[in-house]
Structure 1
Amino acid sequence: MAVVRRLHEAGITSEHAYAAAFGSIGLSLLSWIASMKAEQAGVERADRWGIFVGEWAPTFFTLGLALATYERQAPLAEGDSRSGWLDRPGSKAG
């Protein structure tokens, strides 16, 4: 969770991660087309470029989900160093 917290503190939001995921999908298609047109290496090489860039999308979507979860919990964490467990409804603290 430390990585997600640092990304959040750096100003990166879940929307940024989702945008990067959709951008990588588009970039995957563009790199495949560019490789097909510019290189004479054939479809196999173009497929490798498309797959390489396309593999970034799941990582960005996962970061987006983690950041969205953190963003929902961040207001709770600000009041308590233990992620706001004392402030949660239904807690049995003091």
Structure 2
Amino acid sequence: MIIKMLHEKGLKSEYAYSAGFVSIGLSVASWCGSMKVEPMGVARADRWGIFVGEWAPTFFALGLALANYERDHEALHSVTH
């Protein structure tokens, strides 16, 4: 299970949520930056912004999955200890 492995490696739900919010900021920053320096214009800037913006839902989904795992893992350990 990937979520179990990520949890065991030290990844917490808060980290994944934070990465989601950072990726939203990076999406806006990459769109603005690309619009100013990209010779291909707005279309290319839009693609950069959308590409980076697609990371946010993935990070939020990982955060939710990790939060559920953490809750279940904590509940299991509180019952057995």
TM-score (norm 1): 0.79
Match of 1:55 in 2: 54
Match of 1:14 in 2: 13
Structure 2 unaligned residues grouped into runs of 5+: none
Q: Identity of aligned pairs, percent?
A: 62
d(CA) in 1 for partners of 2:71, 2:77:
12
The C-alpha deviation readout for 1:15-46, integer Å capped at 9, x for no partner, is 00000000000000010011011112110000
d(CA) in 2 for partners of 1:14, 1:77:
18
Deviation at 1:47, TM superposition (A): 0.2
d(CA) in 1 for partners of 2:63, 2:4:
12
Amino acid at match of 1:56: W
Deviation at 1:76, TM superposition (A): 4.0
d(CA) in 1 for partners of 2:76, 2:51:
37
Q: For 1:12-51, list aligned pairs within 5 A.
A: 12-51=11-50
Deviation at 1:75, TM superposition (A): 2.6
Structure 1 unaligned residues grouped into runs of 5+: 80-86, 88-94
Instruction: Report the number of matched residues.
Output: 80
Aligned-residue RMSD, C-alpha: 1.7
Q: Displaced runs of 4+ in structure 1, greater than 2 A?
A: 75-79
Which structure is higher in helix share?
A: 2
